[in-house]
Chains A and B, each alone.
Chain A
Amino acid sequence: KAGVTQTPRYLIKTRGQQVTLSCSPISGHRSVSWYQQTPGQGLQFLFEYFSETQRNKGNFPGRFSGRQFSNSRSEMNVSTLELGDSALYLCASSAGTGGVGELFFGEGSRLTVL
């Protein structure tokens, strides 16, 4: 069974630009969650989508948004990029909601903002 796929794997942007990251979950998984990983802050929850619905959002500004499609694929968008947005963005899928069972992570999208 194919794992979680994230694209692109690496990208470089400049301040003020926007970026869209994509995540394809494991087949049959309805939940997709996004995490930001940085050396200083570890893994921080961005948001989770379950059956196309986002419940709550982590402590991130409105520049961070996302959506989930009917086939469970998800995208996240960051607008007006800042230097501090440089990070590894990890997507994870799970069969149920992400807080009660195993998360299967993708390899991540490494964003560098110059």
Chain B
Amino acid sequence: GENVEQHPSTLSVQEGDSAVIKCTYSDSASNYFPWYKQELGKRPQLIIDIRSNVGEKKDQRIAVTLNKTAKHFSLHITETQPEDSAVYFCAAPRLYSGGGADGLTFGKGTHLIIQP
């Protein structure tokens, strides 16, 4: 099955600096890569996703890049703010024979700490 590795497990950055979180996946057939943010005590929420037909996607201060050859994708947050402090999870689809997907395999998460 799909294996998703995420690094680093903890990332501390100064407010205003950029943060980068990296993930690798194992199944070359994977075609959808979402990122979820989970604030303390709250539910995970989708913040951005990318499909395999594009290499980069941006939404204001957040961007995701995808390198299908190397099988890795990254989350970039610029001009970090205190409200960016949370745990971030990358994910890839659980593929089954026939080309469908029935859920997500998540990375183990990155605890992003924004230092004032």
Contacts and interface: CB of A to CB of B under 8 A. Distances in A.
Interface of A: 33, 35, 41-45, 47-48, 50, 55-56, 58, 90, 97-103, 105-108
B17 to A, nearest CB: 25
Interface string B94-108: 111000111111111
B106 to A, nearest CB: 4
A99 B103 contact: yes
Given A99-B32, A99-B94, A100-B32, A48 B102 contact: yes
Interface string B6-40: 00000000000000000000000000101010000
B84 interface: no
B5 to A, nearest CB: 11
Q: Report whether over half of chain B's contact residues are helix, strand or loop; otherwise say mixed.
A: strand
B104 A42 contact: no
Nearest to B42: A107
B66 to A, nearest CB: 16
A107 B103 contact: no
B89 A102 contact: no
Max chain A CB contacts within 10 Å: which of B42, B49, B94, B103?
A: B103
Contacts of A44: 106
Contacts of B36: 103
A99 B29 CA distance: 13
Most B CB within 10 A of own CB, among A41, A58, A99, A107: A99
B86 to A, nearest CB: 14
